[in-house]
Amino acid sequence: MAVLIKKNIAIGFAVLGIVVGFLSGGAYVYNGQRPCEAYRNNSLDHATIIVSHGDGYPIVWHNAIIPKGANLFEILKAITEASKVEFSYKDYGGGMGVFINSIASSKNTKDKWWQYWVNGEYAKVGVSNYRPSSGDVIEFKLTGETIKNSQ
């Protein structure tokens, strides 16, 4: 009987470990919250973030967590840190915001720079001013493509 109880306790801890691992797997900390805490606090939305850095093999984060109130720069910074993907930027502050210098060792040049699209449309605001919505598909591209937004 005691062996059966110990076995059930061990199975319970294993299942608990799997559930906690699932809720926090591949995730990051934002404002001190792990994903399971964010879930309990009703602040857990998801987006897909793609980084097309020109080698034909994009980096894709499916179900990237969007904490309430976070901007795209904060989310990108957190997931690149957690994934150990190189990321550099310059924060110009104020209305200028953040300018991305490199992602995954792909750096801006005089002819190409990091730009992003949301749900297939060129972004109308800078990375530190955009607040993603649940379900967004966000793609960063290192490109010199000139985009004209219709006003």
pLDDT value, residue 29:
43
pLDDT of residue 135: 94
For 5, residues 6+ apart whose C-beta sits below 8 A from its C-beta are none
**What global pTM score does this model have?**
0.69
Domains of the chain: 42-143 (2.170.130.30)
pLDDT at 125: 93
pLDDT bucket at 144, cuts 50 / 70 / 90: confident
If you average pLDDT over every residue of the chain, what do you get?
77
**Percentage of the chain surpassing pLDDT 70?**
68
Bigger pLDDT: 145 or 149? 145
pLDDT digits (tens, 9 = 90+) for 59-100: 999 989 998 899 999 999 999 999 999 999 999 988 889 999
Band of pLDDT at residue 147, cut at 50, 70 and 90: low
How far is the C-alpha of 116 from the C-alpha of 130, rounded, in Å?
11
Q: 7 or 97: whose pLDDT is higher?
A: 97
Q: Which of 137, 25, 148, 127 is nearest to 70 (CA)?
A: 127
Predicted confidence at residue 28, as pLDDT, reads 45
Q: How far is CA 20 from the centre of its chain?
A: 20
Residue 37 has pLDDT above 60, yes or no: no
